[in-house]
Amino acid sequence: MHRRPRPTVGIVYPDHAAEDDYPFAADLLGVDLPVAHIYGTDLHAVPELLDLGSPAKLAGGAAQLAGEPLDALVWACTSGSFVYGPDGARDQVELLSRAAGGVPTTSTSIAFVAALRALGIERVAVAASYPRDVADLFVAFLTDAGIEVVSLADAGIDTAAEVGTLTAEQVVGFVRDNDHPDAQAVVVPDTAMHTLRILRELEKEVGKPVLTANQVTVRHGLELAGYTVGCPELGTLFEEEVDHGAR
């Protein structure tokens, strides 16, 4: 059950790229997803990502949402969370929760693990927009959670802004070309990539679930708010018959 007819999940989002995925999802699901932006260089490079996900910057994002009736809060940046490693990512969301007055809080990296567990998926193909060294850190994050990565593709794109300019056709082609027959799902880990409007097309292309960063961010945020809703347009993860109780 949820506390309000329209639950509110705050989104702390880095810079600008694909944040329009969130109002699209909010309208589709009948929820509120206010977005607060924090800023740094948008390079997919470890030092810059560590700075982007620093406590001070995340606290600044939480402060922007102080006037919202938050039911949950999400740090909507995969690379800016997994770059800290599993323990660091957990510490990150605990600090963010305290900055937001104790509301349930998660991050996109943690949301990916929650989504895979909810669907019972153990083997994945990763189609990452990042350079290889950053993509390898995401693989390590999933591996620590018990997920087997059977293949990894990296597009080697240096900035989030460039990822945000990829067309739907380019995204579909990238996901299709980097599936693997042994994978139970394809994981696409970048909140800078527009995916929510094409999830059904992505899943049709590969014939299996596709989990994308903005999709799992919304889903886990709503779960933490105590709210579940079926919406097949947003892919297998949002199908009503799937048990999403795991967090």
Side-chain-side CA neighbours of residue 12 (13 Å): 35
pTM here is 0.93
For 189, other C-beta atoms within 10 Å of its C-beta total 26
User: One fold for both 9-111+214-238 and 120-212?
Assistant: yes
Domain boundaries, the chain: 9-111+214-238, 120-212
Angle at 131 between CA 195 and CA 17, to 5 degrees: 35
* CA separation for the pair 229, 42 (Å, rounded): 33
Thinking of the domain 9-111+214-238, which architecture would CATH place it in? 3-Layer(aba) Sandwich (3.40)
Q: Which CATH number fits domain 120-212: 3.40.50.12500, 3.20.20.70, 1.10.10.10, 3.40.605.10?
A: 3.40.50.12500
For 207, other C-beta atoms within 10 Å of its C-beta total 7
DSSP string, 226-240: T-----GGG-GGG-T
Round the CA-based radius of gyration of the chain to a whole number and report it: 16
The one-digit pLDDT tens for each residue of the chain (247 residues) are 344 578 999 999 999 999 999 999 999 999 999 999 998 877 788 888 888 889 999 999 999 999 999 999 999 999 999 999 999 999 999 999 999 999 999 999 999 999 999 999 999 999 999 999 999 999 999 999 999 999 999 999 989 889 999 999 999 999 999 999 999 999 999 999 999 999 999 999 999 999 999 999 999 999 999 998 889 999 999 985 434 443 3
Indicate the angle between helix axes 108-118 and 213-224, nearest 10 degrees: 80
